[in-house]
Amino acid sequence: MAAEKQTVSGRQFRTKADYEAALRDKKKIDIIKSKIDMKNPKDVLSLYEQMQGGAYRFETVVGNDFDDEIYELVERYKRQENNGKGKKNRKKSHKAIKGGRKLSLEDFDEDMRREIEAQLKTAERRRRLTVLFCSLCAVVCFGYFFVYYFYAERTSANYAELSKLKNSQALSNPEEKVIVVRGEQEEIELPDILSEYKTLYNKNKKLIGWLKIDDTIIDYPVMQTSNNEYYLTYNFNQEYDKNGSIFMDYQCKAYPRSQNLILYGHHMKSGKMFGDLEKYAKESYYKEHSVIQFDTIYEKGTYQVMYVFRAKVLKENEIAFKYYQFINANSEEEFNSYMKEMAEMSLYDTGVTVEYGDELLTLSTCDNSQTDGRFAVVAKRIQ
C-alpha cells in the first residue's frame, strides 16, 4: 500500500515533523503576502532586504521556494527599471544631438577636462578588466565542458568495449578455480564464473556482476571492493572518472548470496550511471520497465520491481528504518517489518508481493530534491 502523501505547496514530506514544519512555513508566507503587494516593486524590494537581513526564517523547502520567488521578482523588477532608464537616456542623447553639435573636450575648462579624462581612463581600465575577467570565465567554462565531454565520451567508449568483452573468451581460463577464506577455519570453493563474464573478470577481478534494464541506458558491469568509496570516482579500468561505476555494497555477498543485494550509482545529469533511475517515480515508466536483469558472475537473475521510494541518509544514532543497511533479515518477523516500511514509503502500489526467503535487489542513487536525499528501486528475484 502506498504511503499517505503529505503535501504542502506541491512539496511532499515523509515524516510528520517535516510536514508540520512545512505547514508553519506556508502560514508564515501567507501572512507576509497579505501585508504586501507582490506587484509593487518597492514592496517586494523591501521584503527582500528584510529577508536578507534575517527578519524571516523558514524551516523547510517550502520557505526556500518562497525565498527563490522573491529573489526572481526582485531581479525582474531591476531589469525592467534598467531597461526604462536606458530608453530614457537614449531619448535625451538623441534630442541633444538633434538640437545642436556634439560636445568636445574643448568646450570645457581645464579642470573639467582633467576630470573627464580621469573618468574616461577609469572607465577604460574597468572595461579591460571586465574583458579579461570574461575571457578567463570563458576559458574555465570551455575547459569544464571539454573535460565533461571527454569523460562522457570515454565512459561511453569504455562501456561499449566492455559490452563486447561480455561474451568473449579471450582472457578466460577454463581451469581456474577461486578459493575464498571466511574466518580462520572455513574454506569455501566458489562456483565457476559464468563463461560470458570470465574475460571481464580476468581483466578486473573486482567485477561482481552485470546490470541491465531493457530500453534504458542502464547496461553496466557492477563492481565490488572493500569499501563504498573507491568506485564513486573510478571506472572499470581503474581510471579516475567522475561518473564512477555501478558498485555493490561492500557488505553484500554474491555467494553465498545475501538476502538483499544493494547496488549504488551516481545520479548523473547526462543520464549515465543511475541518472535515469528517478524516472521510476512515474508509475507509467515503471509499467514499461518493471523487469531488471542482474547477473552475478556466478549466476543469472531476473527481478520484478516492487517498491519505488524517496528516503534520506539518517544519523547513525537515529532509530528508524534505514533501507541502505538492510542486507540480511535476522528473522521472518524482521523481514516483514522491513517490507512494511518500504511499502509505506513507496510512491505507488505495484501489486507485487514478497515472502520471507525471497531474494531482493535494491538500486540506490542520490535524490537532489532534498538534503541527503536518496532514491531507491527495490525488486524481487523471479528467476
186 and 48 fall within a common domain: no
Q: Are residues 53 and 190 in the same domain?
A: no
pTM: 0.60
> CA triplet 168, 174, 180: central angle to 5 degrees?
110
Q: Does 138 map to a domain? A: no
Point out the residues of the chain with pLDDT beneath 70.
1-5, 84-109, 111-113, 141-157, 167-186
Q: Are residues 238 and 371 in the same domain?
A: yes
H or E segment and range at residue 263: strand 260-264
- Beta-carbon contacts of 38 under 8 Å, excluding residues fewer than 6 positions away, are 44, 73
Q: What is the CATH number of the domain that holds 171?
A: 2.40.260.10
> Which of 55, 78, 101 is at the close of a domain?
78
Residue with cell 527563490: 68
So what's the pLDDT on residue 174? 53
Q: Quick check: 281 and 308 in contact, CB under 8 A?
A: yes
Domain boundary (44, 78, 112) is at 78
CA distances from 253 to 124, 179, 221, 297, 298 (A): 67, 14, 16, 12, 11
Q: Indicate whether 214 belongs to any domain.
A: yes
**Sheet strands (E) in the chain:** 7-8, 11-12, 179-182, 186-189, 207-212, 219-223, 246-248, 260-264, 291-296, 302-312, 360-367, 373-381
- Residues 6 or more apart whose CB falls under 8 angstroms from that of 116 comprise 105, 108
337 and 232 within one domain: yes
d(CA 2, CA 324): 20
Structural domain of residue 340, as residue ranges?
A: 166-381
- Clarify whether residues 189 and 300 are in a common domain: yes
Whether 61 and 193 map to the same domain: the answer is no
Q: Which residue has the cell 582472457?
A: 171
In this structure, is residue 170 part of a structural domain?
yes
Strand-pair partners of 305: 379
| Domain total of the chain | 2
- Domain annotation covers residue 110: no
Give the end of a domain, one of 16, 47, 78.
Answer: 78
